[in-house]
Amino acid sequence: MLILPVTLCTAGAAAVVNFWLGLRIGRLRMSEKIFIGDGGDDRLVRRMRAQLNFAEYVPLILVLLALVELAAGTSIWLWGVGAALILGRVLHAFGMDGWGLGRRIGIALTMLTMLGLAAYGIYLGSQYRAAPATVFKIGPKG
């Protein structure tokens, strides 16, 4: 039985996107012969920031996705959230290359997925009711 299929697919897709972001940086470094730092190249700075922005948001969102999937199960809604995250990250990268609308849509999708998962996680957590604790007495009955 597969556990956390939404999280697994989303994490796999995120790894591919992260690879693509790194590849874009590497290819630009090779073409511009900038092997350390950003060399003052604005395009390289933007691509590096796109990958760093990815690294800042995606791990936490994947943790939230996994916890919500564990707590509530797999659903069409979660598949949509995973797809929105990946689409948002790709659009953000294109936006950092100059397509401003992509950057705005991309970060909006990222923030909405994070906020939606956080709110749902808080809701699910608040529904938890622990069973009453069992009281153990030590010593003679009486």
Question: Side chain identity at 88, as an amino acid letter?
Answer: G
What is the distance between the alpha carbons of residues 50 and 90, in angstroms, rounded to a whole number?
9
Give the model's pLDDT for residue 140.
Answer: 76
Copy the structure tokens of residue 35. Answer: 């092997």
Q: Going from the N-terminus, what domains does the chain have, and what CATH number goes with each?
A: 5-124 (1.20.120.550)
Write the DSSP symbol of residue 16. Answer: H
Q: Is 130 helix (H, G, I), strand (E, B) or coil?
A: coil
Give the model's pLDDT for residue 47.
Answer: 94
pLDDT confidence band for 139 (50 / 70 / 90) = confident
Beta-carbon contacts of 53 under 8 Å, excluding residues fewer than 6 positions away, are 92, 96, 107
The average pLDDT across 23-51 equals 93
The average pLDDT across 22-37 equals 94
56-78 pLDDT tens trace: 999 999 999 999 999 998 899 99
